[in-house]
Structure 1
Amino acid sequence: MRDLATEFEAERRRLLAVANRMLGSRSEAEDAVQETWLRYAGALADPTARAEIRDLSAWLTTTCARICLDVLRSARVRREAYPGQWLPEPVVSPLDAKPPTDGYAPDPAERAVRTDQVGTAIRVMLERLAPEQRVALVLHDVFAVPFAGIADVLGTTEAAARQLASRARRAVTAADAPRHTADPAEQRRVLEAFVAATESGELDQLLRVLAPDVILLGDSGGHFPAARRPVVGADAVGRFILGLFGRAGRYGQRVTSRPVLVDGVLGLQMETVHSDGRPIRLVVAFAVHEARITGVFNQLNPEKLGDVPPLGDDDGWPPRL
């Protein structure tokens, strides 16, 4: 068992990346990886059975993907009953963090859904996909799994797996998808303009930062008031954002913040106090295209922010970008 555990631990980080990108939930991803371990230990404790596995990494990936597929199919029902809008758990890291590279597709053209590069927007779009489409797209475009292996996971043909990935790719790049193409320098310039506009309280100034078709989504998990439907359009989103900051000011609430990477893209981590005295922690992710914000994603469900470290005494508002 010691040898089995050593082999598995060498693959754990990659398996967790696979599961997290498929499920959008770190806790569910960790459960999927643990179930993968249990199946691995049960199936391969027999040395004879172990000898039949020529590619352990591929076997573990296939097993983990099948578990994730089952979770995705059942999650559809759970998320339909979710209070309000649903956003994935954000992966928050310091500004100087470098994205992991283990196990990813080597060709940049095939990394359209690599979440540590393209941010929360693509993770939100993944939620539109059928479970089979999501599995096919993530395995192929993110982790470079051949379509023959994906067909094995899905119990279908290689041609059908290829078609599932193709349809999924079209869906996540549809015209109504929030676009994110900005490099880090452009992200910083746009976020600085956004902060300055919210500080001014002037709607016209904020509208210059927002794309005409910008979309705002907020996930509170029912813990705090939040828009139950997406807010769409620059005017509506701008008024919504200024209203949030205006309410904080009216109640004399101190807002603290710091810039962070949210799913690999520049965003904000914030803390304030609700009007009823409850502390609020908030992670804001952005999508930026052609010097304007196309998507704002507010995660304030405390159940999804448990791994995010608290702000320090040196953090304040406006954030030091």
Structure 2
Amino acid sequence: MDEHESLTVRFEEQRPHLRAVAYRILGSLGEADDALQEAWLRAGRADTGSVENFGGWLTTVVARVCLNMLRAREHRREDPLDGQFPPDGQVSHPVVHPESGDDPVREAELADSVGLAMLVVLDTLAPAERLAFVLHDMFSVPFDEIAPLIERSTAATRQLASRARRRVKGGSPQPAADLTRRRAAVDAFLAATRGGDFDALVALLHPDVVLRADKAVVPSPEPVLVTGARAVARGAMAAMDRAGATEVALVDGRVGLVMAPLGRLRLVLAFVVADGGITEIEVIAEPDRLRRLELAVLDA
């Protein structure tokens, strides 16, 4: 086996791990495969014969490539939060990456494995924060190995990861028992919507429940107002196809739902829950409003 063949075999052995790292940093399977392609080219130009920990070396290379891609993304300010939906309620899928052989179904599986809410929250982090958190908290890379990548001290890198961790986990002003009760109601709402159980939805809603949706949800010229349990339940049934890409999350410290196909935030539902059931639902899709929300991952 010549040197090139040996490098190919060693790289392919690391590919699943490297793709997992790149996907969590970038949140896009196509971009993750671009990062791996660039890492392969860099490996081919480097003298790797004396590298003892080839997997660790490649992880560092991929992470550096991903960081550059995140920074370039920020400069371009390419924002996927368009807030619009096709008329049939189906969310369009990204173009299949030509080099990967994967399809949108594969990317959806990856998004589900990471968690839609996690991908959404990771996307709110600054590039250095995201890199420090993903490498340390998800892949156990030591801080002293991450620090040179982001040109920070080890202590500063630890602080970045800690700050990112607080953002990811969030916090709620509600007492634990109240949070549990509200989460149970929101979980039940999502389950009933996914299952198409109209009667269960009506039972969860207060008879005089009010739903408000901003202009980007439908879209429509004016915000939408719907009142009454049966009318709100019918609206939820109409959006049943979107429920598969929806997950429970903390929304400004309260339990809500994020709709994020392939980890791209499109819509948020904020709930008010009282003893009599769900009394208010606010549906948010306008990009500026979505950006202002503080989102966090809820523990399972």
User: Does 2:20 match 1:22?
Assistant: no
SS at match of 2:245: strand
Does 2:113 correspond to 1:116?
Answer: yes
Trace 1:52-63 onto structure 2 (pairs within 5 A).
52-63=50-61
Structure 1 letter corresponding to 2:63 = A
Deviations along 1:171-219, one digit per CA (max 9) or x if unpaired, are 1122269x999xxxx99977543446762496562469xxxxxxx99xx
CA distance in 2, matches of 1:24, 1:201: 35
Which TM-score applies when normalising by structure 1? 0.55
Amino acid at match of 2:31: E
User: 1:51 matched to which residue of 2?
Assistant: 49
1:287 and 2:248 correspond? yes
Residues 284 and 38 of structure 1: CA distance in aligned 2, closer, same or farther (over 3 Å): same
Matched, 1:3 2:2: no
The equivalent of 2:156 in structure 1 is 160
- Which runs of 5 or more residues in structure 2 are unaligned? 85-90, 95-103, 208-212, 265-300
Output the CA distance in 2 between the equivalents of 1:79 and 1:241: 37
Greater displacement, 189-198 / 59-68: 189-198
- Check conservation: 1:136, 1:150, Cα contact below 8 A: yes
The residue aligned with 1:151 is: 147
Please state whether the residue corresponding to 1:295 is helix, strand or coil.
strand
- Cα gap change, 1:294 to 1:41, in 2 (>3 Å): same
Name the structure 1 match of 2:129: 133
Structural RMSD (CA): 4.8
How far, CA to CA, are the matches of 1:239 and 1:169 in structure 2? 40
- The 8 Å contact of residues 120 and 287 in structure 1, kept in 2 or not, is answered as no
For residues 300 and 21 of structure 1, the distance between their equivalents in structure 2, rounded to whole angstroms, comes to 12
User: CA offset at residue 160 of structure 1?
Assistant: 1.2
Residue 299 (structure 1) aligns with: 261
Matching residue's letter, 1:10: E
Verify the 8 A CA contact 1:19 1:29 in the aligned structure 2. Answer: yes
SS across alignment from 1:50:
coil
Contact 1:133 1:168 in 2 (8 A): yes
Residue matched to 1:111: none
CA distance in 1, matches of 2:150, 2:194: 45
Structure 2 Cα separation of the partners of residues 300 and 135 of structure 1: 20
Is structure 2 residue 108 aligned with structure 1 residue 92? yes
What's the % identity of the aligned pairs? Answer: 36
In 1: Cα distance, 2:78 partner to 2:257 partner: 22
Could you tell me whether the CA contact under 8 Å between 2:194 and 2:243 is conserved in 1? Answer: no
2:295 maps to none
Please list, as runs of the form range in 1=range in 2, the aligned pairs for 1:240-255 lying within 5 A after superposition.
242-243=234-235, 245-246=237-238
Find the residue that maps to 1:294 and give its secondary structure. strand
Q: Would the aligned equivalents of 2:186 and 2:256 in 1 still touch at CA under 8 Å? A: no
Residues 243 and 188 of structure 1, relative CA distance in 2, 3 Å threshold = closer
More helix by share: 2
Given that residues 51 and 57 in structure 2 are in contact (C-alpha distance below 8 angstroms), is that contact kept between their aligned partners in structure 1?
yes
Letter of the structure 2 residue corresponding to residue 153 of structure 1: L
Q: In 2, distance between residues paired with 1:52 and 1:25?
A: 32
The answer for the alignment partner of 1:69 in structure 2 is 67
Q: Deviations over 1:233-262 (max 9, x none)?
A: xx9xx987743644x8xxxxxx7xxxxxxx
Residue 57 and residue 187 in structure 1: after superposition, are their counterparts in 2 closer, same or farther (change >3 A)? Answer: farther
Q: Given that residues 197 and 205 in structure 1 are in contact (C-alpha distance below 8 angstroms), is that contact kept between their aligned partners in structure 2?
A: no
Structure 2: how far apart are the matches of 1:207 and 1:76? 43
Deviation at 1:76, TM superposition (A): 2.2
What is the distance in 2 between the residues matched to 1:52 and 1:60?
A: 13
What CA distance in whole angstroms lies between the structure 1 residues aligned with 2:59 and 2:262? 32
Alpha carbons of structure 1 residues 167 and 58: separation in structure 2 relative to 1, 3 Å:
same
CA contact (8 A) 2:132 2:160 kept: yes
Q: Which residue of 2 aligns with 1:205?
A: 204
TM-score, normalization by structure 2: 0.58
Report deviation, 1:297. Answer: 1.3
Once residues 83 and 34 of structure 1 are traced to their aligned partners in structure 2, the CA distance between those partners, rounded to angstroms, is 27
CA distance in 2, matches of 1:165, 1:4: 33
Deviation at 1:41, TM superposition (A): 1.0
Unaligned regions of 5+ residues in structure 1, if any? 44-48, 94-98, 100-113, 209-215, 249-254, 256-269, 271-280, 303-321
